[in-house]
Structure 1
């Protein structure tokens, strides 16, 4: 169970291309996000973050105009390239404006260009430096970046918690399936309200 000691909140994918109504990939997660109240629940968590977390980190995904970072991408990365999402310096890649009020407490780590927030970033080094032992995940997409990052964190020896009402997937079924059948294999699944209650 997370406590205010040695615990970090990791925010994944809270960018306009996913969460803005006119975001290029908004329709991919819109239903799951709306039903679970993902944004509202995450903002509530940030409001009381100092009671729960020693560190809050955001790992946005960013690409150059030509997607030169991607070598023959497949799956979701191919889709991102095909639709022109998450280009650095453009509206879609920007952090959602709702997080503006919390920018002083969020440490942004750039470099993520794939599914796993540890890949191509100094996320692990920062967590070790701060003495973090427990990682709590929020964001999107549940079946891709959240799962990939959570598994890697567990392999690195971190305790992992996924927030069921602060994560969203491509469908409600997929969200429920991962929370009920996949995440418990390597971590803990909890709601934001239980985190705040300790």
Structure 2
């Protein structure tokens, strides 16, 4: 990977997942590890920021009446029923650690479903910046992370998933996706391993 052509995509780093009182925090079986995942993520972000690499935040936020969702199923139905990621509410806010880096991170609004490429300008921005490699971190491994990784691969990007900067609904799901699913389309490695590959 050439840092000038690399982007880190951060998905779901919002209070409803990462704060102890977040609406969906308890839905993560490995919620006690969320603090470690956050520490790993922030360490990697801070190593990357002084480089030419692009860091992109893709929050998911809905209007108060969830008018964007028509007969949602699965995770989107759970989000609506529980009032998560609602505009103007603390749970929808980006976590404090990343908000403090607002001037160094590009935030792209518009994400409404599983893939951060849908309904956002992400692909256009990556193309404009001549990005060839994307590194993906965040929540949830089997849903938004996997969806983003697959779509990025389909769009022609080389994809890397940070294994210790992602969290799934269950421990089994985390292990299964990292070991059996994601290696079929992506390079999977820890933040330390990828940092070493990048010379950070």
Structure 1 runs of 4+ with >3 Å offset = 50-53
Change (3 A) 1:30 1:107: farther
Separation in structure 2 between the aligned mates of residue 4 and residue 17 of structure 1, nearest angstrom: 31
- Kindly state the Cα deviation for residue 103 of structure 1 after the two structures are TM-superposed: 1.7
User: Superposed, which structure 2 residues align to 1:133-152 within 5 Å?
Assistant: 133-152=132-151
- Equivalent residue pairs, number: 197
C-alpha separation in 1, matches of 2:56 and 2:32? 20
Instruction: State the shift of 1:27 in Å.
Output: 1.0
Post-superposition offset of 1:33: 6.3
Q: CA separation in 1, counterparts of 2:179 and 2:117?
A: 24
- Aligned partners of 2:183 and 2:97: how far apart in 1? 30
Question: Which residue number in structure 2 is paired with residue 161 of structure 1?
Answer: 160
How much does 1:5 deviate? 2.7
Name the CA shift for 1:53/1:68 in 2 (closer, same or farther; >3 Å). Answer: same
Structure 1 residue 53: Cα displacement = 5.6
Check whether the contact 2:29–2:171 (CA below 8 A) recurs between aligned residues.
Answer: no
Separation of aligned partners in 1, 2:34 and 2:112? 28
Matches within 5 A, 1:19-38: 19-29=18-28, 31=30, 34=33, 37-38=36-37
SS in 1 for 2:3: coil
TM-score by length of 2: 0.94
Q: In structure 2, what is the Cα distance between the partners aligned to 1:31 and 1:63?
A: 26
